[in-house]
Amino acid sequence: MQIEIYSKSNCAFCVKAKNLLNLKEIPFKEFIIQDPTNKHMDLKDNQKWITKEDLFNEFPNARTVPQIKIDNESIGGYNELVTYLDNAN
């Protein structure tokens, strides 16, 4: 299973999604929208900077974050991740 999370700093649901995946020991790649408040943040190996334009190119109808893809398919946000993982068991 390949999971990508598109997130931004100070987003409670982004943190909840990452914590859930870490708790379940499921690896993921994170794409963080860069803004003036986080531009000096050190990235981990599984993280990459993106712009808002990158987010909208990937998810044209996105209005919130996180946006989550599993195996290259958009599933939605945190609540959809919970449902997906519950149904995967």
pLDDT digits (tens), the chain, 89 positions: 999 999 998 899 999 999 999 999 999 999 999 987 887 888 999 999 999 999 999 999 999 999 999 999 999 999 999 999 999 86
pLDDT, position 38 = 82
Confidence (pTM): 0.92
pLDDT, position 84 = 97
Q: Is the peptide bond before 66 cis (omega within 30 degrees of 0)?
A: yes
Give me the phi and psi of 26, to 5 degrees please: -105, 120
pLDDT, position 37 = 80
Is 41 inside a domain boundary? no
pLDDT, position 56 = 95
Is 16 inside a domain boundary? yes
Is 40 inside a domain boundary? no
The CATH number of the domain where 60 resides is what? 3.40.30.10
Is 39 inside a domain boundary? no
Domain count, the chain: 1
Region label for 31, one of left (φ > 0), alpha (ψ between -120 and 50) or beta (otherwise): beta
